[in-house]
Each structure stands twice: as C-alpha cells, then as structure tokens.
C-alpha cells in the first residue's frame, strides 16, 4: 500500500544527502499502485536534477512488477534503459506515466482526451456492475423472509 510519509522521508533524505550516488531500491516491490509510480518517478527526477548526485534504480525482482512499470512508461520517462515488451491497447483502462510540463497545472489536449476515454469506459463498466448488483440484491430480497431481509440489509 502507498505510504505518503515514506515518500516525504525519502525526498527529504535525498534533499539533505551529501552523497554522490542515491539508490532507489525497488527490488522488494511486489505491487505498484499508480500513485506510487508517479511519486517514485517524481522522487527519482527530483533527486537526479542535481549535477552532483547520480541516481541508481534497482529493478523489482518480481518480473510482473518490472513489466508493469515498463508498460506504464516508468523507465522511459526517466531515461532508464530496459527491454521492450509487447503492448496491447489498454487505452480504455490506463494512462501511461506522462510528464506534465505546463506550469499552470492544465493538461494538454492529448492527455485530457486519454483521461476522458478512461473515465467514460470505466463509468460504463461501473454502471453495468451496479445494475447487476441491484438485480442480484433485488432477487435476494424477494426470496427472503422478513428476518432474513433485515439480516442481509444489516451487512450492506
């Protein structure tokens, strides 16, 4: 699970570091959340912005995590060479890591379109899931006695 405090601790450690090399060890990472990917990329870029500090990244041991980071353009955005992987169109489910260059905090048109496409696709999926869930609950409630209905509703 993503822990924002660990990020700030690492950022402050890097900022206060008087070392020539800063190592970001991802070797024990077993799962990567999008907010963690963005934060670690930001940390690496911030630490690497000093001409006096070299940032090294240890890749995850878990091959699936390394593939996911590669798929999400984590390594490309940071200029870290890795083997290329086969990509499938997942534009309705994910948006690869992207650098936001605008100082006003606004997305460019292409990024906005990508975000919109994912949100529309995911909203459609959630709508179908809620309809199915409603149908199941409605049928459960019809077939249950009043006591069973009360128990069931208490757990929702």
For 83-95, how does the pLDDT look when each residue is reduced to its tens digit (9 = 90+)?
888 888 877 777 7
CB-based contact 78:44 (threshold 8 Å): yes
Picking from 60, 46, 61, the residue whose alpha carbon sits closest to that of residue 16 is 46
The 10 Å CB-count burial string (b at 16+, else e) for 106-138 is eeeeeeeebeeebeeeeeeeeeeeeeeeeeeee
Phi, psi for 140 (deg, rounded to 5): -65, -45
| Residue appearing with tokens 């149908």 | 135
pTM above 0.75, yes or no: no
Residue 131 has pLDDT above 70, yes or no: yes
């Amino acid at each position: 699970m993503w822990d924002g405090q660990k990020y700030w601790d690492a950022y402050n450690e890097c900022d206060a570091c008087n070392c020539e090399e800063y190592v970001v060890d991802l070797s024990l990472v077993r799962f990567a959340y999008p907010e963690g990917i963005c934060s670690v990329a930001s940390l690496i870029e911030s630490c690497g912005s000093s001409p006096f500090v070299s940032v090294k990244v240890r890749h995850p041991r878990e091959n699936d995590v390394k593939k996911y980071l590669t798929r999400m353009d984590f390594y490309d955005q940071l200029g870290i060479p890795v083997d290329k992987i086969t990509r499938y169109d997942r534009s309705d489910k994910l948006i690869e890591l992207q650098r936001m260059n605008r100082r006003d905090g606004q997305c460019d048109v292409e990024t906005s379109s990508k975000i919109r496409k994912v949100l529309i696709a995911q909203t459609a999926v959630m709508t179908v899931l809620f309809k199915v869930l409603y149908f199941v609950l409605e049928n459960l409630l019809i077939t249950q006695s009043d006591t069973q209905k009360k128990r069931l509703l208490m757990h929702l």
